Amino acid sequence: MLMNKINILAIEANQNSLVYTSFNKIDYRDAFKIKYIKNTFQNIDEYAKVYFLSQPTWLRLISMNTISKQKIIESVNQSNFQIDLNIGSWKIFTRNDKEIVFGDSMGFLDYRFSMRLDKTQTDDIEVSTVIKLNGFMGKYYFAGVRLMHTKFVIISLQNVFNSINQDL
């Protein structure tokens, strides 16, 4: 069944999400829910694979510090989304059967990005970002990035939608 429209909603994050245990103090947080048809993804690993492989070159460069789709494919296949391995510059910090937490520590800023699929309740995907700012440089850097962050997240989620529609 071809989906004509994606429904991405800004939401209050699920407080049971693994991402909220990432830092003692969270300076920024957001969460989005993507409404999907039933059984689009069988598990969170399947969703994460489509997420990474559906991103265009410019977004891979900005968010994962690589322009090479082949390197992302190799990282996805080699990592199997296991803790302490990387997809581009995104390290896998923690995970369970429903959720994977990726992120990076840049010195002046630490961030985590969570992908969550709980098939016991719904087939919706929830993505959450938490950020810890470290000093003046972190605050300065994120003041500029914050303006584009939400747009980049929404674009990345729309890319997943476009990718699965092409495959249907």
Hey, is 122 helix, strand or coil?
coil
Residue type, 166: Q
Cα-trace Rg, the chain: 15
Q: Is residue 2 part of a domain?
A: no
> Which band of pLDDT confidence, cut at 50, 70 and 90, is reported for residue 63?
low
Hey, is 37 helix, strand or coil?
coil
Which of these ranges, 1-15, 130-144, 152-166, has the smallest mean pLDDT?
A: 1-15
Which pLDDT does position 167 carry in this prediction?
A: 63
CA distance 101 to 116: 9
Which residues face 128 on adjacent strands? 31, 114
Q: Is residue 167 part of a domain?
A: no
* Segment (H or E) for 69: helix 69-79
Hey, is 65 helix, strand or coil?
coil
pLDDT higher than threshold 90 for residue 29:
yes
**Structural domains of the chain, count:** 1
Under DSSP, the state recorded for 97 is: S
Q: Is residue 123 part of a domain?
A: yes
The Cα-based distances of 65 to 20, 60, 68 in angstroms read: 25, 6, 9
Write out pLDDT tens, residues 65-93: 677 778 888 888 889 999 999 988 889 99
Q: Is residue 154 part of a domain?
A: yes
Which pLDDT does position 149 carry in this prediction?
A: 92
Write out pLDDT tens, residues 111-137: 999 999 978 777 889 999 999 999 999
Mean per-residue pLDDT over the chain, rounded = 88
Q: Is residue 168 part of a domain?
A: no
Which pLDDT does position 24 carry in this prediction?
A: 95
Residue 131 φ then ψ, to 5°: -135, 135
CB of 101 within 8 A of CB of 93?
Answer: yes
Q: Is residue 164 part of a domain?
A: no
Q: Is residue 13 part of a domain?
A: yes
Q: Is residue 122 part of a domain?
A: yes
Strand bridging mode 7-10 / 86-87? unpaired
CA distance 99 to 61: 24
Which pLDDT does position 1 carry in this prediction?
A: 43
Q: Which domain holds residue 67?
A: 7-159
